[in-house]
Homo-oligomer: A and B are copies of this chain.
Amino acid sequence: MPARTAPRPRRAASTRPASRDSRDLIFTAAAELFSARGFDGTGVDDIAHAARLNKAMLYYHFDSKLALYREIVRDMLRAVGARALHTADSPEPADARLVAFIAGLVRLSDERPWFPPLMLREIVEGAPRLDPDTLVLMKDVFMAFGRILGDGHRTGLFRPINPILAYMSVLGPILLNAARERAAARPGRLDLPMFADVPHADLTAHMQHAALRLLSPEPTRA
């Protein structure tokens, strides 16, 4: 699921306790932990233990903790960017593309559950650990969103609006809610009301509806 450019071939048959590729095990465990506790809050021992391996294996597959982290973020941003560019450049009208953009983000949050918390962290911290190539990927997502916004404005589907504020207003709820959901799912803690379950079916619809309301040119009230 992590997906490097080309999936390496798997060794024939092997026993259960390490049947999946150890690199993927470490990758996934690390993504999970980094998103939950942050880069500094996660030890390489924690990662190795969660992957049911040891840290020597981590260093066998990755150069360093930082290199592993970067690979996770790059993989994630490549996935987001690919989807965003694809929908932004589709021939459909802007409102349909906006709806697809949001559906893509929500679906991606399910496929790569570490995406929302990790993305939030990177924005909050100002992405201090990312290399220039990865920063470009972050930019691409925003530019794709901006293109949808601009097209919508030109075709009269959307009202004029500051693209950054619009981006924050669309991305913020999606990321924050998914991150909240994820935090609530962790064992032990948190029976606060704001961490209660939200019916997953309503979610995409709400986010899409909210975005359309935000951008629609019709005035809503004084």
Interface residues of A (CB under 8 A from B): 36-41, 117, 120-121, 123-128, 135, 138-139, 142-143, 146, 161-162, 164-165, 167-169, 171-177, 179-180, 183-184, 186, 189-190, 192-196, 198-199, 202-203, 206, 210, 212-214, 216, 218, 220-221
Contacts and interface: CB of A to CB of B under 8 A. Distances in A.
Given A165-B203, A212-B221, A143 B193 contact: yes
Contact of A202 (B37, B127, B165, B190): B165
A180 B168 contact: yes
Contacts of A210: 169, 214
Count of chain copies? 2
A194 B37 contact: no
B221 A218 contact: yes
Nearest to A202: B162
A189 B135 CA distance: 11
A143 B193 CA distance: 8
A213 B143 CA distance: 25
A52 B98 CA distance: 49
What 9 A-B pairs come out closest when comparing CB atoms? A126-B183, A172-B172, A40-B40, A172-B176, A40-B41, A172-B173, A168-B177, A169-B173, A142-B194
B216 A218 contact: no
A219 B214 CA distance: 12
Contacts of A183: 123-127
A173 to B, nearest CB: 4
A42 B168 CA distance: 27
Contacts of A120: 120, 124, 176
A150 B132 CA distance: 47
Contacts of A143: 193
Contact of A127 (B124, B175, B179, B190): B190
A178 to B, nearest CB: 9
A126 B178 CA distance: 12
A176 to B, nearest CB: 4
Given A162-B202, A173-B169, A124 B121 contact: yes
A168 to B, nearest CB: 4
